């Protein structure tokens, strides 16, 4: 999707991509970028803005590809939904969501997907780590009623969410809102502190290395509360709501 103003209120359904480089590619063209730096021209003077609004992907299957959705617009994409899709054996990014507002993945399967990048909501879906998976969730995610688990051949270093870069500022630490979900044995949490995170009524397995349940939650960026890793702490039964305004 390139050299157009916008893709608005559209439906892509019952499509299959197999053994491709990138299944869906969105890129605001160089002609719409200001040099140096590459930032986009103002919207009012940008006929090839290349944004995507309120687009639904329904029952789209992407298998054995390099990238699922590479979404990079000049103006933020907004309110796009993926419903009952399947991404399987994606060696790179399953969803590369640059400058996206409130995208949602619903009732979908992501199995052996390398990474997810950006901010998204995942509802009633199944995420399975495989040989190509580095992490299951981006640094900012809202998860509800989903299962996250280790699959066959997954590497030992796979993490639940995208780790923050070494030396990163507190504002770039992972921020997760997760409720009514099941996290399986063997998925590690990064040692980095979680930022403004809420964990509510989840089932967290008690892995042998106990990494998963040692969760640090930040209060005002300075104080942390840590769950011990004991079985009694494995499934929080009330919200843990800590943020900069508390």
Secondary structure, 3-state, 194-225: ECCCEEECCEECCCCCCCCCCCEEEECCCEEE
Is 14 part of a structural domain of the chain? yes
pLDDT digits (tens, 9 = 90+) for 136-195: 999 889 999 999 999 999 998 898 888 877 777 766 777 888 888 888 887 876 555 667
- Cα of 19 vs its chain's centroid, Å: 23
- In-domain check, residue 45: yes
Q: Return the DSSP state at 188.
A: B
pLDDT digits (tens, 9 = 90+) for 34-90: 777 777 777 776 777 788 999 999 999 999 999 999 998 777 789 999 999 999 999
Number of domains in the chain: 1
68 part of a folded domain: yes
Q: Is residue 238 part of a domain?
A: no
Domain-embedded: residue 25: yes
Range of the domain at 1: 1-123
In a domain, 85, yes or no: yes
């Amino acid at each position: 999707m390139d050299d157009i103003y916008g893709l608005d209120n559209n439906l892509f359904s019952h499509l299959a991509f197999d053994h491709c480089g990138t299944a869906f590619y969105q890129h605001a063209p160089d002609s719409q970028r200001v040099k140096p730096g590459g930032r986009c021209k103002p919207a009012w003077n940008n006929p090839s803005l290349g944004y995507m609004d309120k687009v639904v992907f329904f029952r789209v299957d992407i298998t054995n590809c390099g990238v699922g959705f590479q979404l990079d617009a000049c103006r933020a994409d907004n309110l796009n939904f993926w419903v009952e899709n399947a991404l399987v054996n994606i060696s790179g990014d399953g969803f590369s969501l640059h400058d996206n507002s409130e995208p949602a993945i619903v009732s979908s399967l992501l199995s052996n997907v390398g990474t997810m990048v950006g901010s998204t909501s995942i509802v009633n879906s199944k995420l399975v780590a495989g040989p190509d998976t580095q992490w299951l969730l981006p640094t900012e995610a809202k998860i509800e009623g989903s299962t996250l688990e280790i699959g066959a051949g997954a590497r030992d270093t796979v993490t639940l969410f995208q780790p923050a870069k070494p030396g990163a500022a507190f504002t770039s630490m992972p921020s997760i809102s997760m409720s009514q979900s099941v996290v399986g044995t063997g998925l590690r949490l990064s040692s980095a502190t979680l930022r403004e995170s809420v964990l509510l009524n989840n089932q967290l397995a008690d892995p042998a290395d106990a990494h998963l349940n040692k969760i640090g939650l930040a209060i005002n960026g300075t104080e942390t509360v840590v769950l011990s890793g004991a079985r009694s702490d494995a499934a929080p039964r009330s919200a843990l709501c800590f943020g900069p305004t508390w």
